[in-house]
Structure 1
Amino acid sequence: MSTQPAPGQPRQPLDVKAVPFGDSALMVSVAADDDEARQAGSRRLREILLEVQPHGLLDVVAGVDSLLVEFDCLAISHDQLAQTVRLAAAGSGAGTAGHAHGSEHFVIPMVVNEAFAPDLADVATELGISPEAVLGHLEASVLSINLLASAMAPMMGRVQFPGQVSRCREPRTNVDAGSVMVAGTNAIIQPFPGPTGWKVIGRTPLTICDIRENPPTSYKPGDTVQFSVVPESEWEKLQGQFLRAARGQSAAAPASSATATEREN
């Protein structure tokens, strides 16, 4: 896998910050002017480290905009690994512009009804817009998967909401698999039934994580996602299908939620 920048694509060298995190780990981040640039830089740096495999490296755990780099403290020191990380980033030609190498795009259908979207009205009230407008903002946003959270849940930013969405005052003890949830300007999908404090505004009929598949998820940090509200009548046809990348499709604003609602009616 090449980590060289595309011809003609301007990039600023990654400004890598690495600080000790316990006896055998570094917390590594990329200095940048905005969140998206930091997140993109961290994703590219993770690619580089997994490709280069520095001596003593054990694992690279992705955070929202940082990396936890775990290593064998008997094989290499904090300072030695930090220097190796900086040299690997500099030698790769990676920088703070452009998309991650080999990223995929996903279009994820979601159904919205009273049972599947119990918090949609509350989110609309909080943002001062209609429920239809909430869905419209979601559909019009091209989201980037920043990290895989618990149970391989894809955590995505940023939804182009006109404000921040708060979390539930009382977390739910169980949310169905496929639930599409928002908090702040981030979105996440529940891969398996479980508790959450995020607000639920829809559900996808697709299976996004399946241990029978290899790998069990088709998405990774750096991939992009768009949601598309579909009629409830589509649920049975799509239910249980494994989520796969939208081959041959580029990221572009899909139909508005109002149009999707009209199709359902």
Structure 2
Amino acid sequence: MNVTFNIAGDQSILVTFSRQHIRNETSKSVRKLAELVEQKKVVGMEEVILGYSSLLVHYNPMKITYESMLQILKELLQQIDLSKREQTNQVEIPVLYGGALGPDLADVAHYHNLSEEEVIRIHTTPSYTVNFLGFTPGFPFLSGLSSKIATPRLANPRARIHAGSVGIANNQTGIYPVISPGGWRLIGHTPITLYDPQRNNPFLLSPGDRVTFKAITKEEHDQLIRQQQGGDSYI
């Protein structure tokens, strides 16, 4: 396993795994190391931040030295066993595709010389992997998108995107959990809440989870909104 360790400021270590595109094995190694670090409960270790091929480990230099933290990481690295099955959840996300909350669906279809229905079919076919959460609280970066609908980000990001918006950016797909700016191509919207700070576990999804998308009608979408929020339709 080709891994490098780099100093990232005065209280962080960046662990980088060899990467060829977005490989499931690399992403799984990142998740396994993060899990081992958190399980060990190292005094002075404060936070781990996952990426596709890297893990940023924040530590308190007043409680643990760089050398000690580095040695612990190297030891934990030897304990990674990719043959063990991950304990993950399978989550189905209902999506209303197109319309006012999927304004880029037509552009994605045009970019690939497909119909909107074909884009929806292709997007709802795979089982995606949550590689990590980031950008905003609970934003899942999902790998597994078909190259048939991989589409570049917008040249000019939007200033405000609805929570629940489902988007595509290059060979990734993801869901905006909160209102935020963003440059992903929006193809639909889910009424499911991905981030709720009032819950004991505020995040619906976790790294390693498997996600599938299911196309729903506007009526089903609005009904789910009323059930979850007791409010009216976004549209």
Give TM class, smaller chain: 0.7 to 0.9
Contact 1:137/1:161 (<8 A) preserved:
no
Q: Could you list the per-position Cα deviations for residues 181-240 of structure 1 after superposition, in whole angstroms to 9, with x for gaps in the alignment?
A: 110111111112221111100001212212222111121111110101012221232116
Change (3 A) 1:30 1:54: farther
Find the counterpart in structure 2 of residue 145 from structure 1. 130
- Secondary structure of the residue aligned to 2:114 is coil
Find the counterpart in structure 2 of residue 121 from structure 1. 106
Distance in 1 separating the partners of 2:226 and 2:138: 17
Distance in 1 separating the partners of 2:82 and 2:19: 7
Under a length normalisation based on structure 2, what TM-score does the superposition of the two structures give? 0.88
Find the counterpart in structure 1 of residue 31 from structure 2. 43
- Secondary structure of the residue aligned to 1:67 is strand
Distance in 2 separating the partners of 1:56 and 1:16: 23
Quote the offset at 1:85 in angstroms.
Answer: 1.0
Find the counterpart in structure 2 of residue 24 from structure 1. 11
Name the Cα RMSD after superposition. Answer: 2.0
1:222 and 2:208 correspond: yes
Q: Could you list the per-position Cα deviations for residues 83-104 of structure 1 after superposition, in whole angstroms to 9, with x for gaps in the alignment?
A: 21121232x3x2345653x211
Change (3 A) 1:216 1:198: same
Change (3 A) 1:109 1:186: same
Quote the offset at 1:171 in angstroms.
Answer: 1.2
Alignment of 1:233-252 (within 5 A): 233-239=219-225
Change (3 A) 1:43 1:225: same
Which sits farther off after the overlay, 115-124 or 159-168?
A: 159-168
Which amino acid in structure 1 is aligned with residue 217 of structure 2? P
Q: How many residues align?
A: 226
Find the counterpart in structure 2 of residue 170 from structure 1. 156
Which amino acid in structure 2 is aligned with residue 114 of structure 1? G
Structure 2: segments with no counterpart, 5+ residues: 229-235
Which amino acid in structure 2 is aligned with residue 65 of structure 1? S
Contact 1:181/1:188 (<8 A) preserved:
yes
Contact 2:138/2:194 (<8 A) preserved:
no
Q: Could you list the per-position Cα deviations for residues 98-140 of structure 1 after superposition, in whole angstroms to 9, with x for gaps in the alignment?
A: 653x211100000123212110111112223222221112111
Contact 2:164/2:193 (<8 A) preserved:
yes
Change (3 A) 1:162 1:114: same
